[in-house]
Amino acid sequence: MTLDYQELIRKAEQLGLSAADLNGTIRDAAAELAAQTTDTGLAMQLHFLSRDCGWSKSELEQRLEELARRKPTAEIAALERKASELGLEPDDLDEVIHDIASDIASSINNQGLYGQIAYWAKEGDASIDEIEKELKTIAREKRKQALSQRVAKAGKDIT
């Protein structure tokens, strides 16, 4: 089944959602993708950077050359040994990796509803129906929060 992004965007807009309302969902999806991509090997990582991040062949080559200059394999192995000597475990680096994934999420969030929904549909392993259901849930929560704020403000205005 081909995803109809325009249909999802109309649905999100009908539900009163903005790009900002999907930020949390996008961050979660980006973090999950970062975790999945880390374990996929070089070919899939390069495919991700090309397909999902939109990097051109020349940009990828430039980045690879830069990485090779900055972090040769011998240096990475030495850093891994140093981390082990310091008693570090993979969990100790989670925050650093999360920050990197957060940067990816921020970039996606800056693309607006279309970019967010397209990313969600492509990388979130969700069907159109699942995304639509989640959009409704997010919109419902947004309306409840707005109503709570209005009620709280009204209570302050009375006093």
The pLDDT value given to residue 71: 63
Is it the case that residue 26 has pLDDT exceeding 90?
no
- H or E segment and range at residue 89: none
- H or E segment and range at residue 53: none
pTM of the full structure:
0.45
The pLDDT value given to residue 66: 81
Structure confidence at residue 89 as a pLDDT band (50, 70, 90): very high
Query: Quick one: 33 exposed, middle or buried, by C-beta within 10 A (0-12, 13-18, 19+)?
Result: buried
Is it the case that residue 83 has pLDDT exceeding 80?
yes
The pLDDT value given to residue 92: 92
- Domain assignments of the chain as residue spans, ordered by start: 19-126
- For residue range 42-65, what is the model confidence (pLDDT) as tens digits? 888 888 788 877 888 888 888 888
Is it the case that residue 132 has pLDDT exceeding 70?
yes
The pLDDT value given to residue 158: 60
